């Protein structure tokens, strides 16, 4: 079992979609929301995912295909 901390960003097309619910339904992943801010146009959720690491990777790849942006926790680490 592994854990991964990620940030999902939803644009206005995705902000009403139950992506986190579906992530838990489609994959054997426990989703644990720690912090979030949502509005009608945009939103982000910081959460911890727990499950087998390959399953987490498959789950994150699926989330990316929905149009939700997936980033590591804390923003980009790529730096100048």
Partner 1 sequence: MISRLIWAFVPAILGQEEPTAVAFVNGLKCRECGREYPADPLNVCDFCFGPLEVVYDYATISEVVSQDSIAKGPLSIWRYKDLLPAEGDDPVDIMAGFTPLIKARGLGKTLGLNNLYIKNDSVNPSFSFKDRVVSVAATKALEFGYETIACASTGNLACSVAAHCARAGVRAVVFIPSDLERGKIIGAAIYNPILVSVDGTYDQVNRLCSELADDYPWAFVNINMRPYYAEGSKTLGYEVAEQLGWRLPDHVVVPSASGAMFTKIWKGFNELACLGLLDGVPSSSFGIDQNTVHHPAVTTRMHMQQAMGCSPIATAWNNNQTQVIPVRPDSIAKSLAIGNPADGIYAIKVIERSGGSAYAVPESDIVEGIKLLAETEGIFTETAGGVTVSGLKHLAESGAIKPDELTVVYITGNGLKTQEAVEHVVHPLSIKPTIGSFESVFEGAK
For binding to partner 1 (CB under 8 A), which residues are involved? 4-5, 7, 9, 11, 34-35, 37, 39, 42-44, 46, 48, 69-80
Q: Which is nearer to partner 1, 55 or 71 (CB)?
A: 71
Q: Which is nearer to partner 1, 1 or 78 (CB)?
A: 78
The structure tokens listed for 38 are 């949502």
Shortest separation between residue 26's beta carbon and partner 1, angstroms = 21
d(CA 80, CA 20): 32
Exposed / middle / buried, residue 39 (Cβ in 10 Å: 0-12, 13-18, 19+): exposed
């Amino acid at each position: 079992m592994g854990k991964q901390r990620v940030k999902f960003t939803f644009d206005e097309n995705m902000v009403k979609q139950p992506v986190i619910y579906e992530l838990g339904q489609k994959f054997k992943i426990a989703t644990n929301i720690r912090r979030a801010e949502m509005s009608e146009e945009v939103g982000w959720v910081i959460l911890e995912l727990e499950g087998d690491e390959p399953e987490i990777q498959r789950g994150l790849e699926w989330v990316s295909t929905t149009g939700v942006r997936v980033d590591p926790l804390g923003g980009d680490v790529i730096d100048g």
